[in-house]
Chain A
Amino acid sequence: MSFLSYLINGISLGSVYAIIALGYTMVYGIAKMLNFAHGDVIMVGGYAAFTCIMSAGMPPLAAVLVAVVVCTVIGVLIETIAYRPLLEAASSLAVLITAIGVSYFLQNVVLLIFGSNPKSFQSVVTIPDLKLANGTLNISGVTIVTISSCIVIMLALTTFISRTKAGQAMLAVSEDKGAAQLMGINVNKTIALTFAIGSGLAAIAGVLLCSAYPSLSPYTGSMPGIKAFVAAVFGGIGSIPGAFLGGLLLGVIEIFGKAYVSSQLSDAIVFAVLIVVLLVKPTGLLGKKIQEKV
Chain B
Amino acid sequence: MAMLELKDVEVYYGMIQAIKGISFEVNEGEVIALIGANGAGKTTTLHTITGLLSPKAGSIFFDGQDITKTPAHKIVSLGMAHVPEGRRVFSQMTVYQNLKMGAYTRSDKSEIDAALEMVYKRFPRLEERKNQLAGTLSGGEQQMLAMGRALMSHPKIILMDEPSMGLSPILVNEIFDIIRSVNEAGTTVLLVEQNAKKALDIADRAYVLETGKIVTSGDAKELMNDDAIKKAYLGE
How many chain-A residues does the 8 Å CB contact rule pick out? Answer: 21
- B: contact size bracket: 20 to 34
User: Are A182 and B93 in contact, CB atoms less than 8 angstroms apart?
Assistant: no
For the complex, give the distance between the alpha carbons of A99 and B77 in Å. 35
User: Are A172 and B101 in contact, CB atoms less than 8 angstroms apart?
Assistant: yes
User: Are A169 and B86 in contact, CB atoms less than 8 angstroms apart?
Assistant: no
Chain A residues with Cβ below 8 Å from B88 are 176, 178-179
For the complex, give the distance between the alpha carbons of A293 and B153 in Å. 26
User: Are B166 and A294 in contact, CB atoms less than 8 angstroms apart?
Assistant: yes
User: Which residue on B lies nearest to A178, using beta carbons?
Assistant: B52
Find B82's partner among A169, A182, A187 (CB 8 Å cutoff): A182
User: Which residue on A lies nearest to B86, using beta carbons?
Assistant: A294
One of B22-30, B68-76, B172-180, B227-235 at the interface: B68-76
User: Which residue on B lies nearest to A176, using beta carbons?
Assistant: B88
For the complex, give the distance between the alpha carbons of A178 and B153 in Å. 17
Is A129 positioned at the interface, with any CB of B under 8 Å from its CB? no
Q: Mark B36-55, 1 if CB is under 8 A from A, else 0.
A: 00000000000000111000
User: Are A185 and B97 in contact, CB atoms less than 8 angstroms apart?
Assistant: no
User: Are A168 and B77 in contact, CB atoms less than 8 angstroms apart?
Assistant: no
Is A279 positioned at the interface, with any CB of B under 8 Å from its CB? no
User: Are B91 and A184 in contact, CB atoms less than 8 angstroms apart?
Assistant: no
For the complex, give the distance between the alpha carbons of A34 and B227 in Å. 56
User: Are A169 and B104 in contact, CB atoms less than 8 angstroms apart?
Assistant: yes
User: Are A171 and B93 in contact, CB atoms less than 8 angstroms apart?
Assistant: yes
User: Are A171 and B90 in contact, CB atoms less than 8 angstroms apart?
Assistant: yes
User: Are B76 and A182 in contact, CB atoms less than 8 angstroms apart?
Assistant: yes
User: Are B102 and A183 in contact, CB atoms less than 8 angstroms apart?
Assistant: yes
Is B100 positioned at the interface, with any CB of A under 8 Å from its CB? yes
User: Are A184 and B105 in contact, CB atoms less than 8 angstroms apart?
Assistant: yes
User: Are A183 and B93 in contact, CB atoms less than 8 angstroms apart?
Assistant: no
A168 and B97 in contact, given A182-B52, A183-B104, A184-B74 (Cβ under 8 angstroms): yes
Find B91's partner among A175, A178, A180, A183 (CB 8 Å cutoff): A175
Is A159 positioned at the interface, with any CB of B under 8 Å from its CB? no
Q: Mark B89-110, 1 if CB is under 8 A from A, else 0.
A: 1111100010011101100000
Chain B residues with Cβ below 8 Å from A169 are 101, 104
A98 to chain B, nearest CB (A): 23
For the complex, give the distance between the alpha carbons of A175 and B228 in Å. 42
A260 to chain B, nearest CB (A): 39
A199 to chain B, nearest CB (A): 24
Is A116 positioned at the interface, with any CB of B under 8 Å from its CB? no
Is A136 positioned at the interface, with any CB of B under 8 Å from its CB? no
Chain B residues with Cβ below 8 Å from A178 are 52, 72, 84, 88
B69 to chain A, nearest CB (A): 15
User: Are B92 and A184 in contact, CB atoms less than 8 angstroms apart?
Assistant: no
User: Are B86 and A182 in contact, CB atoms less than 8 angstroms apart?
Assistant: no
A185 and B104 in contact, given A178-B88, A293-B86, A294-B86 (Cβ under 8 angstroms): yes
- B-facing residues in A145-192 (Cβ within 8 Å): 165, 168-169, 171-172, 175-176, 178-187
User: Are B72 and A182 in contact, CB atoms less than 8 angstroms apart?
Assistant: yes
Q: Mark A258-294, 1 if CB is under 8 A from B, else 0.
A: 0000000000000000000000000000001001011
User: Are B72 and A181 in contact, CB atoms less than 8 angstroms apart?
Assistant: yes
Chain A residues with Cβ below 8 Å from B102 are 183
A18 to chain B, nearest CB (A): 21
* 19 residue pairs bridging A and B, Cβ less than 8 Å apart: A168-B100, A169-B101, A171-B90, A176-B88, A178-B88, A179-B84, A179-B89, A179-B90, A181-B52, A181-B72, A182-B84, A183-B104, A183-B105, A184-B73, A184-B74, A184-B77, A184-B104, A185-B73, A293-B86
* 11 more A-B residue pairs beyond the given contacts A183-B102, A185-B101, with a C-beta to C-beta distance below 8 A: A169-B101, A171-B92, A171-B97, A175-B93, A179-B84, A182-B75, A182-B84, A184-B73, A184-B153, A288-B92, A291-B91
Measuring CB to CB, which residues of chain A are less than 8 angstroms from any residue of chain B? 165, 168-169, 171-172, 175-176, 178-187, 288, 291, 293-294
Sorted nearest first, the 9 A-B pairs with minimum C-beta distance are: A184-B105, A181-B72, A179-B88, A184-B76, A183-B104, A184-B104, A181-B73, A186-B73, A183-B101
